[in-house]
Amino acid sequence: MKNNISLKSLIDIISFGYYSYPIINFLYLNINDISLKYYLLLLKSKWKKDYYLAIDYSKKTISTTTTTTILRELARFELVSLYNKVGKYDLAKKEINILKNNFDKLPSYARYLMVPGLNLLNKSYNITDNFKVYSDNYIENDLDKAILIYSKARDFIKEKEYSKAYKRFIEGFFLSKNFPHPTMICNGLNGAAWWIREVDKKKALVVADLLEYYVGYYFEDLPKIYNWFDTIFEVKKINNDITIFDISSIVIKLNKLNKVKIKKQFFHFIPDISSSTYNITNELKNYILKYVDLMVKKGIINSKSILKIINSKKISYTSRKPYAIKNELYKMYINKTFKENIIKFKKKNKIKIQELFFATYSSLIEKPYFTKSCILKLFFEGDKDKIIKYFSSNYEKMYFFNLMLSEFKVKEIEKRIMNPDDFEKIKPDVSPFFISRKKLIFNLLKNAKNFKEFILKYFELNEEEMRTFDMFLRNGVRYDIIWPIIPKVDGNLKSFALKYNITQKRVALGYYSFEDAERKLLDSIIENFVKI
């Protein structure tokens, strides 16, 4: 499709922001126009927060575009925003004055893309006096409406009218979801949860759980989502919600390369479900002495002693208790949830159990240690009693079992987030982050063929290959909306799609969500999957 893309279609695509990443990658490889290539590189650099490189590509787009005003002014619009991000306000004003002079020459579909951003820039930075851009019906776009509604919510926050701000954030969330625009979806839920916590912490917790679900559904990269996780963490903390351990674990594991500076509080809630002893800190010693005389041996206490105290004194979880108490209560929570999930598990059919296992395993950031031959035999045979026995042997396996069986009733929660009644009854028993990632795999494989071979091939992968392949599978679904163009696949990618009955569109979207070097690794993985 060399150069076979209209600027109107391009604008429709980039209106989704970062969510259009796979389409942008596909386009870049299938166009010759150098100005358009620069523009696509500008967008990718901006999304990676490499603002100075994005500025450079903006200038290159402007200087090389000779046949259309539209592309040049789209690049100038981005340049205005980029100059503001790096604090070069005088340069931003200069570019915006040029943009104003050319604005009437642009077709309405190009103006619609720019109007909300220009108005927000003016409101935030006062980049030019009395700046107004007129467009008769740009506000009809759901995303543009959401942007304006979020702006109104922030006005309410300034007046400390948090309930009114909450309603605006939730209204904007639904509009963003209709569009859909993942960043705006999560921004709305984040704003709602953060500010309503000031007046209604239980309501904030329900919205934070929903935010966690959508973060897992749409995003992978911690630097893009850390602030949302921070909101979820704080809301869980003030609600004394024991699943704060899950959030802390997720954040720490996602930050394996230390790309984000994580605040210290997260490290106070990292689960240690294999622990059998604890060091006796002054905090723990003083806490236990409130209940019993403490016999200290070499400054440690075993978990059985702590459990005895918890059970005899009927101690319940709060965020302020010493770590050893909280961690043992978390282990008890895992065990309790495991027993509840056994009942649900016994109602599942054999094929469903295999899908549950794979969807859960592929959703995890770090894989649990299971003996491959043992676990595969267990699930292919489908003997429920043997599976239950296997997963009852330790807390790590119980936790995995709980993830397999846990659900998150998204539609029910979305119906009720505007309703203040009975929020406590809506509560997931494990992290919604993993539940949404699990759902992506379910959606991908619901009509899959050769599933046993698929799983066997999967377990031949090494750790890096698994991580890449997991993301490829998730991205194939999370980016699957109606796009102006549909990426095509051929060769091994097409063979993979046909062999396992996964739509070629989803295979293409998953594939083009990666950059060149990552696609080379994916090529070798796919090649192995299509081998006979």
Dihedral sign, Cα of residue 107, residue 113, residue 116, residue 119? negative
Q: What is the pLDDT at residue 131?
A: 45
Q: What is the mean pLDDT of residues 365-390?
A: 89
CA angle 400, 401, 403 (to 5 degrees): 65
Single-letter residue type at 106: L
- The predicted-structure confidence for 508-517, as pLDDT tens digits, reads as follows 999 999 998 8
Distance between CA atoms of residues 344 and 387, nearest Å: 13
Count of positions (residues) in the chain: 532
- Taking only the tens place, the pLDDT of each residue in 109-151 is 898 888 877 777 776 556 554 445 444 444 567 888 898 899 9
Burial of 385 (0-12, 13-18, 19+ CB in 10 A): exposed
Cβ-count burial 7-21 (b if 16+ within 10 Å, e if not): bebbbbbbbbbbbbb
pLDDT at 126 (0 to 100): 60
What does the DSSP assignment read for 356-378? HHHHHHHH-SS-----HHHHHHH
Average pLDDT, rounded, for the chain:
91
Q: Which residues contact 227 (CB under 8 A, 6 or more apart)?
A: 190
> Whole-angstrom Cα distance, residue 247 to residue 268?
12
**Token pair listed for 355:** 């899908």
Mean pLDDT of 15-39: 95
- Among 53-62, 92-101, 492-501, which stretch is predicted with the lowest mean pLDDT? 92-101
pLDDT attached to residue 133: 47
- The pLDDT value given to residue 129: 47
Structure tokens at 476: 């194939």
pLDDT at residue 295 tops 70 = no
State mean pLDDT over 52-69.
94
Nearest to 432 by CA among 189, 196, 180, 99: 189
Q: Report the pLDDT value the prediction gives residue 14, as an integer from 0 to 100.
A: 93
pLDDT at residue 461, rounded to an integer: 95
Mean pLDDT for the stretch of residues 380-406: 94
Gap between the Cα atoms of 275 and 277, Å rounded = 6
In this prediction, residues 363-380 reach a mean pLDDT of 88
Q: How many helices (H) and strands (E) does the chain have?
A: 27, 2
524 C-beta neighbours (distance < 10 Å), count = 11
pLDDT digits (tens, 9 = 90+) for 28-57: 999 999 999 999 999 999 999 999 999 999
